[in-house]
Amino acid sequence: VRKDSPLIIGAGDEENFIASDVPAILKYTRNYYLLEENEIATIKSDRVEFCDMHKLPIKKEVQVSNLDMDAAEKGGYEHFMLKEIHEQPNAVKTTITPRIVNGMPDLSECGLTLEALKNYRKLFIVACGTAMHAGMVGKYVIEKLARTEVTVDIASEFRYRDPIITPEDLVIVVSQSGETAALHLAHDKGAKVLSVVNVKGSSIARESDMVLYTHAGPEISVASTKAFSVQMSVMYLLAFEMAYAKGHIDENECKRLTAKLAEIPDIIEKTMECEKKCKYVSSKLITAQSLLYIGRGLDYALSMEGSLKLKEISYIHSESYAAGELKHGTISLVEDGMPVIGVATQTELLEKTVSNIVEVKSRGAFTIAVCKEGTEFSEGVIDEAIEVPAMEDVLMPMLTVIPLQLIAYYTTVLKGLNVDKPRNLAKSVTVE
């Protein structure tokens, strides 16, 4: 019986399967049936029958998965996480290419026409974990370019507060799995729901009024990486198109930004050159008890993601702080040798963030900067700088995330821990 959590029935030859997701059965068959909530399947080796709660028979169409088998295997990498980090250029390309038409973003496939985008009053982005951090990037970019208010909520908080939502608003649910329990409730609040989801036919996709699928392919490692990049890429398309629809940028500027986004997959590939350096920096982190990630603006959103990635798999306590907020309490934690990672890619905020790095350095911190190629720091401020290619500030998160993911990965590997399956965590959190 399917109840609350996803369930599929794999239809093989003289053998049938019960699984929670398609990659689990791919080795045996591509054919499967999707169970809806409360539906019942009776499985024999040679047949499968379906009925509803009242035992009334149901006829179901067999679905054929086109998932790439290799995509569900490690393909030569030591861990799924490393494979998925390296799949990001392709995942982003596959997600954005069909949505760029004549140089302009085009999200009309799901009903997000220019007219609709022009008229939304306010956006609510609702998500959990890494997807919520992609939502934070979305908020910065949409507010900056489209001058439209965006609230980002953790789904489990959104559910129990009483947000002021009108029918002119749009609720955007962001989720890799499309099964995260707390997200279902976003639908009860009265506005139309757009979901940005990676898994076809997932519960959230089916419940939404509009769906924009991200095309990351199956993400197996519990720590989400490529899903984050594709979610951000959709946020950019949305921001650019909405900014144009609302008249805050003209067609030329919209095309220029879109072209920059289209270059991103190649530049992510180039960013991977920092891998060796990240491995080296990670070797300095493995004995740390605790560390801090700091940044401002978009860099703050990325600090949050970097910190989550590190703590969830390496079990090293870490916190992310808006750099300017450090001195309001947290800086008292800094002592000799404590690693502090300063994410400093935003030109306008660089000086401010650097002054916060100086503050922790003078208290003995071991300072690591993630910055644009060629960023210069005064002597003695930064112990290790990890440079990423320099791009338009607004797009930097697509690159900045790479070293943050790699640091989490290598620190965990060097500690000898289970990278893909960290303790106490699950890939899909289907209970609240």
**Footprint of ligand G6P on this chain (CB under 6 A)?**
128-131, 175-177, 180, 222-224, 425, 427-429
The nearer residue to ligand G6P, 184 or 296, going by C-beta atoms, is 184
- C-beta of 175: minimal distance to ligand G6P in Å? 3
Residue of this chain nearest to ligand G6P (CB atom): 129
Collapse the DSSP code of 122 into the 3-class scheme (helix H, G, I; strand E, B; otherwise coil) and give the result: strand
- C-beta of 127: minimal distance to ligand G6P in Å? 6
Q: How far is CA 143 from the centre of its chain?
A: 19
**Residue 62 burial (CB count, 10 A):** 12
The nearer residue to ligand G6P, 69 or 425, going by C-beta atoms, is 425
The nearer residue to ligand G6P, 223 or 399, going by C-beta atoms, is 223
Q: Give the helix/strand (H/E) hosting 344.
A: strand 339-344
The nearer residue to ligand G6P, 224 or 318, going by C-beta atoms, is 224
- C-beta of 97: minimal distance to ligand G6P in Å? 22
Nearest alpha-carbon partner for 340 in 319, 324, 355: 319
- C-beta of 160: minimal distance to ligand G6P in Å? 18
**Residue 281 burial (CB count, 10 A):** 24
The nearer residue to ligand G6P, 95 or 224, going by C-beta atoms, is 224
- C-beta of 221: minimal distance to ligand G6P in Å? 9
- C-beta of 182: minimal distance to ligand G6P in Å? 9
The nearer residue to ligand G6P, 125 or 249, going by C-beta atoms, is 125
Edge-to-edge strands of the sheet including 31-34?
16-19, 8-11, 31-34, 63-64
Q: How far is CA 378 from the centre of its chain?
A: 34
The nearer residue to ligand G6P, 128 or 243, going by C-beta atoms, is 128
Residue 41 neighbours by CB under 8 Å, 6+ apart: 1, 7, 9, 18, 33, 35, 48, 49, 50
- How far is Cα 300 from Cα 247, in angstroms, rounded to an integer? 28
- C-beta of 429: minimal distance to ligand G6P in Å? 5
Nearest alpha-carbon partner for 105 in 266, 242, 263: 242
Q: Name the one residue in this structure whose structure tokens are 């500027």.
A: 253
